[in-house]
Amino acid sequence: MGHVVRLVGGHLVYDGMLSTKEIATIDDILRTLQEEIPTIEADLAEEYGQGVWYKYHLGLVMGEILEKYDISFSERRRFWDEIKNFATQEERKRNEGTNAVTRSFYQQCYILSQQDKEVVEKLTWRQWQDILDRVGNREDPRIFEWIKRYPTKIREDDWREFEKALHLYLKNKDTSVFDDEELFAIYDSIMLMCKKWRELFKSFTVKHPKSAKIKSKSVWVKKYYALCFSKKKEVRSRVVTEDMCETAFDELMEY
């Protein structure tokens, strides 16, 4: 597909100087999508509900469409928009906004479908959106292998904090210098740091129910992550340890 279209004022606008034959080809593709996509989405929703497996299988269909119509990598972003604007009958409340490049629903489904099923099942769709939104967190594709190796499904709250902490850790970091085991140990330690925060903060709220720090939790958790990473750096350790987590929490919250 050498050209894409867009919607302006409710009317189709063709980009570039197109021949009658090229316009007919684009019209045929859009007509096919308009006929196929609603049925495909309805069938998948009936079989899988609206959870992660619905998105995974929808992504597989997206891959087939890319191949069938020869959609190049550079054209994909706008092609996802064409499906959203012209083909689907689903109303998706999530606003792609200024992060549209990374938050396109159909693009994210496609990326998800490229993962092993053993990886997909470890996270809910909401959790997958977290990592698919944060391009930097998945820039090193070995994050997916780490998820696959993780022994259990990951709690929503732990994953949310893990994504935030990982984003902070990866600033100005080149993870390609680590071999697999070194990198996975780092991921494990970041998850440990997040779990310790949840456990320690829960205990803190019981001990200090009137503390103003409870209401400003988001501020203190960022300080906690930064301090944990600082302590790791001080002792030239590659990973954050449990002792570092507890010491950092006590220094911030208990004093």
Instruction: Report pLDDT digits (tens) over 225-242.
Output: 999 999 999 999 999 999
The confidence score (pLDDT) of residue 160 equals: 93
For the segment 181-203, the average pLDDT, to the nearest whole number, is 97
**Position 92 pLDDT exceeds 80:** no
Distant-in-sequence, close-in-space partners of 186: CB < 8 Å, separation ≥ 6: 169, 175, 178, 238, 239
> pTM for the whole thing?
0.80
What is the band of 255 on the pLDDT scale with cuts at 50, 70, 90?
low
What is the band of 8 on the pLDDT scale with cuts at 50, 70, 90?
very low
What is the band of 17 on the pLDDT scale with cuts at 50, 70, 90?
very low
**Position 58 pLDDT exceeds 60:** yes
63, two tokens: 């891959």
Strand partners, 6: 13
Query: Mean pLDDT: which of 8-17, 37-46, 213-222 is highest?
Result: 213-222
**Tokens 């998820």 sit at which residue?**
147
For the segment 250-255, the average pLDDT, to the nearest whole number, is 88
Of the chain, the percentage scoring pLDDT greater than 70 comes to 81
Element (H, E) at 180: helix 180-207
What is the band of 89 on the pLDDT scale with cuts at 50, 70, 90?
low
113-168 tens-digit pLDDT: 999 999 999 999 999 999 999 999 999 999 999 999 999 989 999 999 999 999 99
Arithmetic mean of pLDDT over the chain: 84
Would strands 11-14 and 5-8 be described as parallel, antiparallel, or unpaired? antiparallel
Contact between 156 and 126 (Cβ < 8 Å): yes
Q: Residues 31-64, buried b or exposed e (16+ Cβ, 10 A)?
A: eebeeebeebbeebeeeeeeebbbbbbbbebbee
What is the band of 44 on the pLDDT scale with cuts at 50, 70, 90?
very high
Please give the residue that has the higher pLDDT: either 27 or 50: 50
**Position 43 pLDDT exceeds 90:** yes
